[in-house]
């Protein structure tokens, strides 16, 4: 480890200038002006399938703790603070998370829900929640309906657990949700249980699936409020017969924001895609529709270096204040566009440690992002009719590319030119 790399590492795992020790949480308003729902990853406990696929004892902590900074200013690794390396087989871990979320104004969690043709994975945390009605935690679920593969980006290669879609499975899935919907803590919109489908475009006929769900629950006197996540350039819920769409930041900014170049690489072969947090926030805030119900989404940060070493996506430059500005603008957008019960902002995420986006306290910022969340709710409640303001964001100056990085770019360009020439020669022979 070079001195520069070591210095960056030491800096990252110690309290920084924005550190908040959690001893004085900001006061919350008597009535929260918007409902904040944070996505929740349940993969912080060992299961037999992960033992087989990734090694004995694998959890999300296995990924999160192995990351290193790739360039100067790169905030890795992301290590937990006050909650520690919790194990979600213990109901008290979820109880502590619920207490913390409530203290800082988070309405509840949207659990990523894994269902594969009747087989569930990572179900222990939500089963613990159902079995412990004293845990004060509103919740809903997002069916993560991708195949489970050996890659972390939703690709279909090296499938470990495949989805098995059929009309019969649609109904089996609906029946499996009944105990969740019957729980008084389940999040509802206008009295309707909130159900999210992550990628409806992967289903053979998502509109038919949604209708089967509606028919099933109508027989029970229920009508779920069904939304999709806005991911992979699929944003409009109307073709699927859904009620709305939920922001899943950084979402559209992944491909619509120009990358910046790290000024100093610790590894000359580093090829991560680095985006400025300011521009990501502006892009996501601008990507809104008045033609259908779209719940805004924000993220405290994003960096999946832990899952994709050296080639990940890094949303660089987040601070608690910038996150607060984005959250406040999104909250005001929700107030402008929706009736009271539908004023919801989705936060990605509560605990996505290996993707570098979480509200839980860490070693460098402590409780700072949670504290900013509470302050934003208070600011909006004090003046709820102000328009959304994006002026706190300033376009970051592009960082100067290093000579090593430029060599990589030139090498890639030469390789691309050779490929193009080969294609041209092949076409000319026809």
- Cα(115)–Cα(322) distance, integer angstroms: 36
Interval 295-316: pLDDT, tens: 999 999 999 999 999 999 999 9
Residue 192 CB neighbour total at 10 angstroms? 17
Is residue 152 pLDDT above 90, yes or no? Answer: no
DSSP element (H, E) containing 10:
helix 3-12
Is the bond into 77 cis (omega within 30 degrees of 0)?
A: yes
pLDDT-derived band at 27 (thresholds 50, 70, 90) equals very high
Greatest pairwise CA separation for the chain in angstroms: 75
Q: Give the number of C-alpha atoms closer than 13 A to the C-alpha of residue 313, restricted to the C-beta side.
A: 16
- Cα(22)–Cα(86) distance, integer angstroms: 18
Helix, strand, coil tally for the chain in percent (to 5): 35, 20, 45
**Average per-residue pLDDT in the chain?**
91
In eight-state DSSP terms, residue 30 is S
**What is the predicted pLDDT for the residue at 1?**
56
* Among the ranges given (113-117, 143-147, 342-346, 413-417), the one the predictor scored with the smallest mean pLDDT: 413-417
3-399: CATH superfamily:
Glycosidases (3.20.20.80)
Quote the tokens at residue 245: 């769409």
Which three-class secondary structure state does DSSP give residue 226? strand
Interval 371-397: pLDDT, tens: 999 999 999 999 999 988 877 775 444
Quote the tokens at residue 327: 């959250």
Q: Give the number of C-alpha atoms closer than 13 A to the C-alpha of residue 101, restricted to the C-beta side.
A: 27
- Cα(66)–Cα(98) distance, integer angstroms: 27
Is residue 410 pLDDT above 70, yes or no? Answer: no
**What is the predicted pLDDT for the residue at 263?**
85
Of 169, 104, 189, give the one whose Cα is nearest residue 370: 104
List, edge to edge, every strand of the sheet that includes 313-316: 273-276, 313-316, 302-303
pTM for this one? Answer: 0.90
Q: Which residue has the higher pLDDT, 177 or 425?
A: 177
Q: Where are the domains of the chain?
A: 3-399, 402-430
Of 60, 143, 138, give the one whose Cα is nearest residue 101: 138
Interval 68-83: pLDDT, tens: 999 999 999 999 999 9
**What is the predicted pLDDT for the residue at 2?**
65
**What is the predicted pLDDT for the residue at 115?**
97
Interval 170-223: pLDDT, tens: 999 999 999 999 999 999 999 999 999 999 999 999 999 999 999 999 999 999
* Among the ranges given (63-67, 116-120, 151-155, 381-385), the one the predictor scored with the smallest mean pLDDT: 151-155
Find the angle CA(151)-CA(201)-CA(177) to the nearest 5 degrees. 85
Q: Which residue in the block uniquely carries the two structure tokens 């009944």?
A: 178
Interval 1-23: pLDDT, tens: 567 999 999 999 999 999 999 99
Which three-class secondary structure state does DSSP give residue 362? strand
**What is the predicted pLDDT for the residue at 55?**
93
């Amino acid at each position: 480890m070079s001195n520069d790399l070591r210095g960056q590492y030491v800096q990252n795992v110690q309290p920084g200038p924005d550190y908040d020790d959690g001893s004085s949480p900001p006061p919350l308003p008597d009535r929260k002006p918007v409902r904040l729902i944070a996505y929740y990853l349940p993969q912080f406990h060992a299961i037999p399938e992960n033992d087989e696929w990734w090694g004995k004892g694998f959890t999300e902590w296995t990924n999160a703790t192995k990351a290193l900074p790739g360039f100067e200013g790169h905030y890795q690794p992301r290590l937990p603070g006050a909650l520690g390396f919790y194990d979600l087989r213990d109901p008290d871990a979820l109880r502590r998370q619920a207490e913390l979320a409530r203290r800082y104004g988070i309405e509840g969690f949207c659990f990523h829900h894994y269902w594969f043709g009747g087989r569930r994975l990572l179900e222990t945390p939500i089963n613990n929640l159902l079995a412990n009605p004293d845990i004060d935690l509103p919740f809903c679920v997002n069916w993560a309906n991708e195949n489970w593969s050996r890659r972390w980006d939703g690709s279909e290669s090296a499938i470990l657990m495949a989805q098995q879609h059929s009309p019969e499975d649609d109904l089996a899935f609906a029946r499996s949700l009944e105990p969740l919907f019957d729980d008084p803590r389940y999040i509802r919109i206008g009295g309707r249980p909130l159900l999210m489908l992550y990628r409806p475009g992967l289903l053979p006929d998502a509109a038919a699936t949604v209708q089967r769900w509606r028919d099933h629950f109508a027989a029970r006197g229920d009508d779920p409020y069904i939304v999709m996540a806005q991911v992979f350039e699929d944003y409009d819920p109307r073709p699927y017969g859904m009620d709305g769409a939920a922001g899943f930041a950084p979402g559209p900014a992944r491909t619509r924001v120009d990358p910046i170049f790290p000024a100093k690489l610790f590894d000359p072969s580093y090829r991560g895609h680095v985006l400025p947090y300011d521009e990501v926030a502006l892009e996501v805030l601008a990507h809104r529709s008045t033609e259908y119900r779209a719940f805004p989404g924000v993220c405290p940060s994003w960096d999946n270096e832990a899952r994709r070493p050296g080639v990940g996506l890094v949303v660089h430059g987040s601070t608690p204040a910038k996150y607060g500005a984005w959250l406040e603008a999104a909250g005001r957008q929700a107030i402008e566009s929706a009736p009271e019960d539908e004023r919801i902002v989705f936060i990605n995420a509560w605990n996505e440690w290996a993707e570098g986006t979480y509200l839980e306290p860490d070693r460098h910022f402590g409780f700072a992002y949670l504290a900013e969340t509470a302050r934003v709710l208070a600011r909006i409640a004090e003046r709820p009719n102000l328009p959304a303001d994006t002026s706190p964001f300033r376009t970051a100056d592009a960082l100067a590319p290093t000579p090593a990085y430029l060599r990589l770019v030139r090498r890639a360009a030469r390789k691309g030119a050779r490929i193009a020439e080969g294609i041209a020669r092949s076409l000319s022979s026809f």
